[in-house]
Amino acid sequence: MNASTQRFTLFAAILLASVTAACNSGTTVVGPPPPPPMGNFSNASLKGQYAFSMTGTELCGLNPGFPSFFTRAGSFTADGNGHISGGLEDVNVCAGVFTLQFTNSTYSIGADGRGKLTLKNSTGTTNYSITLTSATQGVVAQTDVNSTATGSFQRQNPAAFSNPAIAGGYVFDFAGINVRLNPESVIGRFTADGAGGINTNTGLFDSNEAGTPSNQQLFPAGAFYQIDTNGDGTNFGRGTANIAGHNFAFYIVDGTRLKLLGTNFPAALSGEAFAQQNMSFSDASVNSGLAFLIGGSSSTGPIATAGRFTADGAGKVSEIFLDENNNGGLTLLPSQGGTVTGTYTVDANGLGGGTATWTDSNAGTFSFIFYLISPTQAVFQETDGGITSDGTFLTQTAGPISPASLAGDFAFVWTGVSSDEEDFVGQMKLTSASGNNASGIMDFNEFRTGTQFFDIQFKGPLTITAPGTGPNTLSVTTNFPSARTFDFTAYAVDSNAVFLVGAEAGTDPNRVRVIAGSLSRQP
């Protein structure tokens, strides 16, 4: 699986969009017993060290009743028999930034890859629902009364727990809140020298604070990275860094991927860095169909956007489709009766930065910046006024995509905002049959009501519009504890990954108005 598919969208600013106090009386709802799970997963599938990162919302003990954005990142070791034998995490919560060790923690994995994870440290116990996409990675949602979050985890390579393992170019994407408590997205790239130094002459970033882009900037002085020397580095892959003027704790997945948590409290940024392909990038580097998913906030509330476009390798963009849910208001490109044209430019310095712009004859102009990880993937940020939104784009299969090519089992994670944050994780089965060809089971956390839902079954149709590379539709309905439908526009990256953005208008306050996520194929 492509590394940045597993990043998903952090939606840091989405989580800030609601200021409604959560009631959080603490209700657990368990659905009727589902059919026995089918698959080849078990406790033995989760074995080794895994790095994780999550973002979400908590009730702040320093300000009771008021939801607060938080982040966590760390490492845990699973023994293959249901026990977490050790680990470490950094948390950035309303009370500050803390580094905590895990003790006496447990997990369980069912045959379908769905499972539970319980992590204990000196401050208490946190609970998670997880779904494995493979033995090396998975997705996670926190299922506690006063905290909800989503994220991902990947198996670590302890041989990479050293400064020399982090060398060459890296592309990053961080999102969250800054010291002014405004939503902020920061994307860019840097060059690590393998000895803890970062070359500020090739360190570039674009910041977007509360909808105001900074334009491309050079790193300020003081950039570095350093593996911890107190044992946390060699044991857990932990280190500290200053990147684009922000301080971070990081955890190494391997030499190609880092998970980072901002430590400039009260700012709370979270994100990842990916090794950049060693090449000189140009317009010719971007020459394929590309699917994208981004999320964040606008001046009116949460926003999530998915779509696709084709870059011709010479600066022109065509076959542009976009589905945007801006606080329940839907925008589709092409607009009805409209036409869309676009261009892109890769920076002449060869470091992989670039811009893209497309204009719909009715809906207006949409502007973006990107940093290429390789010709097939990039981090992506919208720069239109009043919008702070970021995510990823990936090379899309040339198609065609059909129900038959998508048939199989998928892990998924969704993050949404209704009157407050809601997080979902589970497994979905897709078949090539007509009608209700999508079915599955999910757990989710509804922060507004303090309710955690487990083993909730759903079904519905995935409808593919030939050739399948444009917008498709997915609609799934739960029948317990009451009927609830989730409508998505679905953009297939390929037969192994699908981007989803909620296609509901904001007319019903009891339904999620803005929601987005991904499907990732299981083996």
The per-residue pLDDT for range 288-333, each reduced to its tens digit, is 999 999 999 999 999 999 999 999 999 999 999 999 999 999 999 9
Q: Which single residue is written with the structure tokens 């606080």? A: 327
pLDDT(17) > 80: no
- State the average pLDDT for the chain: 92
Average pLDDT over residues 479-506: 92
The per-residue pLDDT for range 58-86, each reduced to its tens digit, is 988 666 556 789 999 999 999 999 999 99
Band the pLDDT of 1: cuts 50, 70, 90.
Answer: very low
Band the pLDDT of 233: cuts 50, 70, 90.
Answer: very high
Cβ–Cβ contacts within 10 Å for residue 374, how many? 20
Q: How far is CA 523 from CA 7, 49, 478, 496, in A?
A: 19, 21, 26, 10
Q: Which single residue is written with the structure tokens 């198609």? A: 399
Please give the Cα distance from 43 to 83 (Å, whole number).
9
The per-residue pLDDT for range 91-122, each reduced to its tens digit, is 999 999 999 999 999 999 999 999 999 999 99
Q: What is the pLDDT of residue 19?
A: 34
Band the pLDDT of 16: cuts 50, 70, 90.
Answer: very low
Q: Which single residue is written with the structure tokens 């997705």? A: 139
Q: What is the pLDDT of residue 8?
A: 38
Q: What is the pLDDT of residue 65?
A: 56
The per-residue pLDDT for range 239-262, each reduced to its tens digit, is 999 999 999 999 999 999 999 999
Q: What is the pLDDT of residue 62?
A: 62
The per-residue pLDDT for range 129-179, each reduced to its tens digit, is 999 999 999 999 999 999 999 999 999 999 999 999 999 999 999 999 999
Task: Of 137, 211, 223, 210, give the one whose Cα is nearest residue 172.
Answer: 223
Q: What is the pLDDT of residue 507?
A: 65
Average pLDDT over residues 232-236: 98
**What's the token pair of residue 373?**
């990880």
The per-residue pLDDT for range 498-515, each reduced to its tens digit, is 999 998 776 666 667 899
Please give the Cα distance from 24 to 14 (Å, whole number).
20
Q: What is the pLDDT of residue 11?
A: 45
**Which phi and psi (to 5°) does residue 338 adopt?**
-95, 165
Cβ neighbours for 508, distance < 8 A, ≥ 6 positions apart: none
**Which residue spans within 60-123 are E strands per DSSP?**
67-79, 83-93, 96-101, 105-109, 114-121
Q: What is the pLDDT of residue 504?
A: 78
Q: What is the pLDDT of residue 418?
A: 82
pLDDT(4) > 70: no
Task: Of 292, 348, 347, 342, give the one whose Cα is nearest residue 319.
Answer: 342
Q: What is the pLDDT of residue 25?
A: 57
Average pLDDT over residues 367-386: 97
Cβ–Cβ contacts within 10 Å for residue 19, how many? 8
Band the pLDDT of 23: cuts 50, 70, 90.
Answer: very low
Task: Of 440, 484, 433, 434, give the one whose Cα is nearest residue 459.
Answer: 440
Q: How far is CA 66 from CA 21, 241, 270, 424, 450, in A?
A: 5, 31, 21, 22, 13
Percent of the chain with pLDDT over 70: 93
Band the pLDDT of 485: cuts 50, 70, 90.
Answer: very high
The per-residue pLDDT for range 418-471, each reduced to its tens digit, is 878 999 999 999 999 888 999 999 999 999 889 999 999 999 999 999 999 999
Strands 316-326 and 289-297, sheet pairing: unpaired
Please give the Cα distance from 271 to 10 (Å, whole number).
8
Band the pLDDT of 367: cuts 50, 70, 90.
Answer: very high
Q: Of residues 68 and 472, which shows the higher confidence score?
A: 472
Cβ neighbours for 64, distance < 8 A, ≥ 6 positions apart: none
Beta-carbon-side half-sphere exposure of residue 284 (alpha carbons within 13 Å): 2
Please give the Cα distance from 394 to 308 (Å, whole number).
9
Q: Which single residue is written with the structure tokens 């901002």? A: 262
Please give the Cα distance from 17 to 299 (Å, whole number).
10
Q: What is the pLDDT of residue 508?
A: 66
**What's the token pair of residue 346?**
């890769």
Q: What is the pLDDT of residue 13?
A: 34
Q: What is the pLDDT of residue 342?
A: 98
pLDDT(221) > 60: yes
Residue type, 36: P
Please give the Cα distance from 455 to 39 (Å, whole number).
17
Please give the Cα distance from 215 to 316 (Å, whole number).
22
